[in-house]
Structure 1
Amino acid sequence: MSSHPSLRPLYDFSGWVVQQIQVTPTIAVVKLHRDKRLNVYCPHCIRKASVNKKVMQSAYDLPIGPVNLVQVLYEALQGYCSGCKSYFTLHPPGIDGYAHATKRLMHYVCRLCRFMPVNKIQVFLPISTSTARRWDKRILAKYLPDPDLDKLRVILIDEKSIGAGHQYMTVVINGETGEVLHLAEGKKKTSLESFFQKLTPKQIKNIKAIGIDRAGAYKSVIRQYAPKAQIVFDKFHIVGNLNTAIDEVRRSEWRKANKEDKQFIKGQRFNLLRNGDKLKEHQCDDLARLFEANEALFQAYLLKDAFATLWTYVRPKWASKFLDNWIEWAKETGLRPLIKFAKGVDRDRNEILAWIKHRVTSAKLEAFNATISRIVKRACGYRDLDYLYLKIRQEASPPVPQL
């Protein structure tokens, strides 16, 4: 065991003096003692205080080269202030007495948790997985900036599954910047109400459009808390609903078809739902044979293709006229799944046509699905929703500054 004076500048803790640094191949120990020339002041009222006793404590610190286990031994002063009648414990600046670690080590762990699985950190540092999570959460809660709620114009709302057993959470993001604004357990009204309750009347007034899908209980909450904001039903969910109706027609026709006709319908699901400009030549030939054999599927495909025209309009009034015609076409087919979809489109006309004005989609939310999955996998699962919210916000923020 040897002393290393050249390492002293690494342990410059104001008010404490490096007494000795001992390094072995497996552990490094840094011993500090309080500078006796300095007075002790109360951290609450900054008055001169008395020292009752000194207690030796230890804290983990950053590794030194190949030595992962570094301990700082120091005198913690337990004092009393007669001015404010309070007791206190004085630690060297830069050491967290509660965590028994230096703050720079905690920041280092926070950075590691962002880029590697949390259960691998114990390979590089002498801390447990639970300790790494606890430190990471503390640093993020203290240093991550709060979301900007003053300049909200467009927000997107959706529910996301975060694990087995249908565990859902409600996510709210800024529709323009993609910044995560809110995360709450479940997908009920209360999950979204807690977001609007955080906003001031002025912040709510600034919101012009809110993008959601047609399912869930979010619409009534929006009407209650932001009645002047225009609800925009997500374009991709509407198209998905139409594709579901087309597939229901396909399955119904397959069940009714005789053995000879079934061979034309079988295996055509993806060709029916795929955009026409993305079909290969042999796939077009397959569809042509299918349409010759089954008129209902031909009608369904034409309606699907025609519906895509809705998203090309730039004026809601023109789009509304087109929608009137499309709904009539769907009803004339006599196909129940398409008639049901058409009635739903007519019912939700205002929210669907709002897309023409605001062009709001859930693309940013859907793109964030992969991010959420990656975060959950890297952390080996989450039981703390507040911690998950911090990790999601961290993903869209610059790294927390290293001390």
Structure 2
Amino acid sequence: MANLLIIEDESAIRRVLVKILAEENKDYKVTEAVDGLEGIELVRDNDFDLVLCDIKMPKMDGVEVLQAMKKIKPEIPVVMISGHGDLDTAVNTMRLGAFDYISKPPDLNRLLNTVRNALDRKTLVVENQRLKKKVSKNYEMIGESELITIIKNIIEKVAPTDARVLITGQNGTGKELVAHWLHQKSDRSKGPFIEVNCAAIPSELIESELFGHVKGSFTGANKDRAGKFEAANGGTIFLDEIGDMSANAQAKVLRALQENKIQRVGSDKDIKVDVRILAATNKNLKQEIEDKKFREDLYHRLAVILINVPSLNERREDIPLLVEHFAHKIAKEQGVNTKNFTDKAIKQLQEYDWTGNIRELRNVVERLIILGGKEVSEKDVQSFASK
């Protein structure tokens, strides 16, 4: 069922439009408004999939209606209906966000094609919004502690810029989560987010992984291949565990930062890239610099903004919120009913030594959801948390 609104002061035109739409699809539900003011009120109070709006109307013309609707519900496609003398105005409405315009009297095929295309566009917009919300929930930052609040505030300030960020912290604290938030809240959010785990790639392959290679550049290079930097063009590349990167790769990353250029392995051709770099490590890079294992000049290029993610032991007051979040999420994933954690069980979890941080807490909550009683008790925590 598609809900359509016609805003038209001429009753004869309204009747024609309603008749055409009703004959086209019985699932079209059409609402009529006799002027712009009534149309805006209907849009404000109802969920429409498409609006057809006349341009020349008393009280409020179509241009004003369009501008008001784009503020109220910008996702609704608006098709303008214009007389032959209103072509310039109709074109102007396209610039203001109208989906299309139709001349009076309406051509049957043009009208129906426009309506179908507009409804398809609305479906895509809604689906994209749903997927975006889904992605955001997957990387939601849970916590209200002072340390987490500070990080959220830094992200809000830094994300809209292209400043490079170095994220530090122990394993399992959520460094990847911070990187995702920085990307999603940036102007590059519509571009790619490419992750590279530098510790998981053999040192002899890291350069090819990052910068690509040309055919024949080494054994097994059977064809040209683009690297992660090219894949991230226009978006963000996240170099996780950058402290494990080889010296040669460090030198090439430094050049990419300095010149916004890369070279594929086996090639001397420069390739321009527009990439924001985020990096993370669980190592003390200053100590690595002293030990001659990490380039100091690369460190200063990467660490324009430093974000240190606290350990779970440093933010124990967030544990109740994290437990509740994981309990609901895990129950949904496992297809079981969620379980309530008693106050004593929560207190017991807050006293636990979380060497594995958030990752370990999630595993413990999953274990308790599966193995614990109908209500997770202090005894359940004592029995299953340390296993």
Same fold by TM-score, threshold 0.5 exceeded?
A: no
TM-score by length of structure 2 reads 0.23
Largest Rg, 1 or 2: 1
Tell me which protein shows more strand as a share of its residues.
1
TM-score by length of structure 1 reads 0.22
